[in-house]
Amino acid sequence: MNDDQIKTIEQVREFLTGISSVRFSPCSKEGCYKWIEGILIRFGYRSRTKTEKGLLLDFMEKVSGYSRIQIKRLVKKYLKTGRIKRRQRAPKGFTRRYTQEDIRLLARTDEIHGDLSGPAIKKICERAWRVFQDAGYERLAGISVSHLYNLRRSGTYRNIRAHFDKTRPKASKIGERRKPNPQGKPGYLRVDTVHQGDLDGIKGVYYINAVDEVTQYEILCSVERISERYLI
């Protein structure tokens, strides 16, 4: 609508009186913002009385199709900045860096290496790419430990590992009775255990005596159970 001929408050009042039953088609958001800014500048909105400002708000509301709240918000922006500019939408976020194939490869790597810690698996991925030039590990070589754990929590990873681990028992060498063969090197232990015994149905602790076969360094401790969880 060309409203250049409307230049006074009285003309605004007459205009509103004569169009009470008229509906206007909304223009683009950018066009409406520009038109409202032009009206505020043309009529010197800042210096108008409360009644005159009310008429201008009615005028802008009627022509733009915006609600009163929307008009007031735009006017407030104009009074604060001197402009009414459409706020641009933020980008939709980052492009996904790690693919489904990366998650499958991570799951296979964990399965092969027995579910090592995040830092250990990260090092394996780095060596696979940088030392052995395995192109499949190119993206995983740069993964952070925290994001590696995020991938492990993904649905794709859990589905793959559920398939891998469904019937596969995991052997443990904890508790295997075998004579140390240190060949002069420290680190081979002789371990003796003694159970404290139970009292009134309450399980007692296990006393552990570990002696290095070469250095004879000895450690005495107690644990609640004889299992990998309590011994490591």
Structure confidence by residue, pLDDT tens digits, 2-33 = 677 888 999 888 888 876 545 565 578 888 89
CA–CA gap between residue 47 and residue 56 (Å, rounded): 12
Mean per-residue pLDDT of the chain: 83
pLDDT of residue 28: 81
Contacts of residue 22, Cβ cutoff 8 Å, sequence gap at least 6: none
Neighbouring C-beta atoms of residue 103, cutoff 10 Å: 20
Calpha distance 136→19 (Å, rounded): 70
Q: Scan for tokens 């499949």, then name that residue.
A: 136
CA distances from 166 to 107, 111, 162, 169 (A): 14, 12, 6, 9
Q: What is the pTM of this model?
A: 0.38
Which one-letter amino acid corresponds to residue 101? E
Which one-letter DSSP state was computed for residue 86?
P
Query: Among 111, 108, 159, which residue's Cα sits nearest to residue 136?
Result: 108
Q: What is the pLDDT of residue 149?
A: 93
Within 10 A of 232 (CB to CB), how many other CB atoms are there?
6
* Tokens linked to 23: 């509906």
Over residues 146-187, the pLDDT tens digits come to 999 999 999 889 888 876 555 555 666 666 666 767 788 888
Q: Residue 196's pLDDT band (boundaries 50, 70, 90)?
A: confident
Nearest to 143 by CA among 161, 164, 128: 128
Cα 56 from chain centre = 46
DSSP strands (E only) in the chain = 189-195, 206-212, 218-223
